[in-house]
């Protein structure tokens, strides 16, 4: 969920509200805060025109103008950010500091659309995240199998919420934004492209729509259903190793680094799957994005995490040639290549990796 919220704050959003010339006014009635509390309006980490205002008798007002409606956030004093869609209209926000319920935001049609989506999406997504953590801690057997069934049903529910919203609101700029922001939940570029085709032409021609189209084109590199692009790098002994040398096996190309905390946390899951499936024509090829001059740290991490498969790196950090080839912008990431060299899976982490390998290679009992 943190990843989704980050995307919500960082991806430019156009909305289907008025873009008139009068600008926006945000009027707030926030009880429970002392006079003088500063209210900041941010866009991607920068003050948006009006910048900030002080609360006086629980009220504040921010005025400005945006070229296009966009997702911003308010920070009231030292409280957590509040997502708000700013458009050239009168927007009101009401709430109380001590209450657990979210603040009431009105006047922004795009905010109404987005709130409608989150109402169905968030409960399922939160359940799914919590269940994934439980599955990772559960021993093999019937209990884990039952949890996996529930997890898969929740994942299907997430996709259903996305489809339901896109089909109901093809003319909403929020739809274009959500397609990009929720891609992480099922990284299937063909599915994303088909959903994109459902959008109205006016949305496709918007900035959000054009950004989405560019993302789709870029994401086709290394996408499921395409042929894996060959590369060669030096292994830990300095010998060249190519991806094509693994032809005839299922190989998980795992992009990671010794300095990457999430990668190190995911490594035990990869180790367990390697142990379980290595006798079934499966292996792993680790590609490290470690920094120049830090080979020792790379080798130490391999030893500490008990990563007994083949490892390669050119020790060029984010400029690693294989990472650039596959457009890797963050780690951990992985691709699963079949014996014929076709990509059959991508970013398989947590229970998703075992689930995919069981699908392809068979499992007597799911779980370790």
DSSP 29-66: EEET--TT-EEEEEETTEEEEEEEEE-BTTEEEEEE--
List, in sequence order, every residue forming a beta bridge with 30; answer none if it has no partner: 95
What is the structure's pLDDT at 91? 95
Alpha-carbon distances of 63 from 104, 190, 279, rounded to whole Å? 19, 42, 65
What is the structure's pLDDT at 1? 43
What is the structure's pLDDT at 69? 75
Say if residues 235 and 288 touch (Cβ distance below 8 Å): no
What is the structure's pLDDT at 162? 94
Say if residues 179 and 166 touch (Cβ distance below 8 Å): yes
Give ranges for CATH 2.60.40.10 in the chain: 18-106
What is the structure's pLDDT at 99? 72
The H or E element spanning position 79 is: none
- Residue 355 has a CB neighbour count (10 Å cut-off) of 19
What is the structure's pLDDT at 126? 92
One DSSP character per residue, 175-192 reads: HHHHHHHTGGGS--HHHH
SS3 211: helix
What is the structure's pLDDT at 45? 56
Using the Cα atoms of residue 330, residue 68, residue 195 and residue 157 in order, give the sign of their dihedral: positive
Using the Cα atoms of residue 200, residue 204, residue 205 and residue 207 in order, give the sign of their dihedral: positive
Using the Cα atoms of residue 126, residue 127, residue 132 and residue 138 in order, give the sign of their dihedral: positive
Residue whose pair of structure tokens reads 């997890």 in the numeric block: 151
Give ranges for CATH 3.40.30.10 in the chain: 232-361
**Under CATH, which number does the domain 18-106 receive?**
2.60.40.10
What is the structure's pLDDT at 43? 80
How far apart (Å, rounded) are the C-alpha atoms in residues 65 and 42?
13
Say if residues 317 and 289 touch (Cβ distance below 8 Å): yes
How far apart (Å, rounded) are the C-alpha atoms in residues 237 and 229?
24
Residues 6+ apart with CB under 8 A from 365: 140, 141, 145
Phi first, then psi: give them for residue 26, nearest 5 degrees: -105, 115
Which of 320, 264, 262, 260 is CA-nearest to residue 287?
A: 320
What is the structure's pLDDT at 365? 52
Length of the chain: 368
The pTM for the full model equals 0.62
How far apart (Å, rounded) are the C-alpha atoms in residues 225 and 188?
9
Residue ranges in the chain whose pLDDT is less than 50? 1-20, 366-368
SS3 329: coil
Assign a CATH topology to domain 232-361: Glutaredoxin (3.40.30)
For the stretch 315-344, what's the b/e string if a residue is b when 16 or more beta carbons lie within 10 angstroms of its beta carbon? Answer: bbbeebebbeebebeebbbbbbbbeebebb
What is the structure's pLDDT at 46? 60
């Amino acid at each position: 969920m943190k990843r989704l919220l980050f995307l919500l704050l960082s991806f430019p959003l156009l909305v289907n509200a008025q873009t008139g010339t009068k600008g926006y006014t945000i009027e707030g009635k926030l009880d429970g805060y002392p006079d003088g509390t500063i209210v900041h309006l941010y866009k991607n980490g920068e003050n948006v025109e009006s910048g900030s205002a002080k609360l006086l008798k629980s009220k504040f007002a921010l005025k400005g103008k945006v070229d296009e409606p966009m997702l911003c956030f308010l920070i009231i004093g030292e409280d957590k950010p509040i997502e708000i869609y700013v458009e050239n209209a009168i927007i009101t926000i009401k709430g109380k500091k001590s209450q657990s319920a979210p603040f009431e935001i009105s006047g922004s049609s795009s905010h109404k659309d987005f709130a409608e989506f989150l109402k169905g999406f968030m409960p399922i997504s939160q359940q799914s995240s919590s269940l994934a953590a439980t599955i990772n801690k559960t021993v093999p057997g019937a209990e884990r199998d039952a949890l996996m069934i529930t997890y898969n049903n929740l994942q299907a529910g997430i996709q259903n919420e996305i489809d339901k919203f896109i089909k109901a609101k093809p003319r909403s700029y929020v739809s274009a934004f959500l397609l990009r922001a929720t891609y992480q939940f099922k990284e299937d570029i063909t599915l994303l492209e088909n959903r994109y085709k459902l959008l109205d032409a006016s949305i496709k021609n918007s900035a959000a729509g054009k950004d989405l189209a560019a993302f789709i084109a870029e994401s086709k590199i290394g996408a499921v259903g395409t042929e894996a692009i060959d590369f060669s790098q030096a292994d830990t002994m300095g010998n060249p190793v190519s991806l094509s040398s693994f032809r005839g096996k299922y190989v998980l190309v795992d992009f990671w680094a010794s300095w990457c905390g999430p990668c190190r946390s995911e490594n035990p899951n990869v180790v367990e799957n390697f142990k379980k499936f290595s006798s079934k024509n499966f292996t792993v090829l680790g590609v490290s994005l470690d920094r120049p001059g830090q080979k020792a740290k790379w080798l130490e991490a391999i030893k500490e995490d008990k990563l007994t498969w083949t490892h390669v790196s050119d020790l060029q950090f984010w400029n690693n040639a294989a990472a650039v080839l596959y457009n890797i912008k963050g780690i951990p990431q992985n691709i699963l290549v079949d014996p014929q060299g076709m990509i059959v899976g991508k970013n398989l982490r947590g229970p998703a990796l075992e689930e995919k390998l069981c699908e392809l290679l068979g499992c007597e009992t799911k779980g370790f």
